[in-house]
């Protein structure tokens, strides 16, 4: 009976040790519960974003804080460019504005999803509802869309990447991210 008691005590101590070590590991990564949840919410997406950011804006040392901000800015720029490109492809008269008539002419030639997107973007861009999406209107919409699609929440999630800088040199390597994410999943 005493032996069983000792075994139970040993197991309990081992469990406590594992819990303490686990929380130490988390502290070492500097992750709050919220940041941990951000990563674990969609690990595949996080890892993909990390791999793209590191390959796009990183260098052999990896990614630092400034590079992450550049990556966030580039994601938003890409979204802005996408909106402008979709709208300007309908500027058949080459006057720098997109009229409802131009949209109506081009729309039937597009795939259903591209057609829907063009009509939606044109409607959203034409803030004063005069039937014409002007340059300022298109730029304003592209900025709003970029911030909607790459919002502050996504930016915060991307900034979590920096906390995976295990050796503390200010640079994060993809291997560090991979190891940290695998550790979080346990």
DSSP H/E element including 178: helix 174-185
| Nearer Cβ to Ca ion (51/106) | 106
In 3-state terms, what secondary structure has residue 75?
helix
The closest of 100, 45, 23 to 53, measured between CA atoms, is: 45
Site string for Ca ion, 53-92 (x = CB under 5 A): --------------------------------------x-
Site string for Ca ion, 127-166 (x = CB under 5 A): -x-x-x----------------------------------
Span from 28-36, 75-83, 94-102, 171-179 in contact with Ca ion (CB under 5 A): 94-102
| Nearer Cβ to Ca ion (124/132) | 132
Span from 37-45, 50-58, 97-105, 158-166 in contact with Ca ion (CB under 5 A): 97-105
What does the alpha-carbon distance between residue 177 and residue 165 come to, in Å, rounded to a whole number? 8
DSSP H/E element including 65: helix 65-88
Span from 7-15, 65-73, 95-103, 150-158 in contact with Ca ion (CB under 5 A): 95-103
What does the alpha-carbon distance between residue 95 and residue 177 come to, in Å, rounded to a whole number? 48
Span from 39-47, 63-71, 120-128, 161-169 in contact with Ca ion (CB under 5 A): 120-128
* DSSP codes joined into one string, 80-112: HHHHHHHHHTT-TT-SS-EEHHHHHHHGGGS-H
State yes or no: residue 167 binds Ca ion (CB under 5 A): no
CB 78 within 8 A of CB 70: no
Find the binder of Ca ion among 126, 145, 165, 176 (CB under 5 A).
126
CB of 77 to Ca ion, least distance (A): 24
**Measured CA angle at 177 (ends 176, 180), to 5 deg:** 85
Binding site for Ca ion (CB under 5 A): 91, 93, 95, 97, 126, 128, 130, 132
């Amino acid at each position: 009976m005493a032996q069983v008691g000792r075994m139970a005590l040993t197991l309990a101590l081992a469990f406590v040790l594992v819990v303490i070590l686990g929380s130490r590991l988390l502290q070492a990564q500097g992750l709050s519960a919220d940041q941990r949840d951000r990563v674990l919410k969609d690990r595949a997406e996080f890892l993909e974003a990390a791999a793209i950011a590191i390959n796009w804006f990183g260098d052999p040392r990896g990614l630092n804080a400034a590079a992450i901000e550049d990556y966030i800015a580039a994601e938003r720029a890409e979204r802005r460019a996408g909106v402008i490109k979709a709208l300007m492809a309908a500027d058949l008269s080459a006057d720098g504005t997109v009229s409802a008539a131009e949209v109506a002419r081009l729309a039937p030639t597009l795939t259903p999803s591209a057609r829907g997107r063009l009509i939606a973007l044109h409607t959203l861009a034409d803030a004063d509802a005069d039937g014409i999406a002007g340059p300022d209107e298109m730029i304003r919409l592209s900025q709003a869309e970029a911030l909607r699609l790459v919002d502050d929440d996504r930016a915060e999630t991307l900034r979590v990447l920096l906390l995976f800088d295990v050796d503390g040199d200010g640079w994060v390597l993809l291997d560090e991210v991979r190891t940290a994410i695998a550790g979080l999943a346990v």
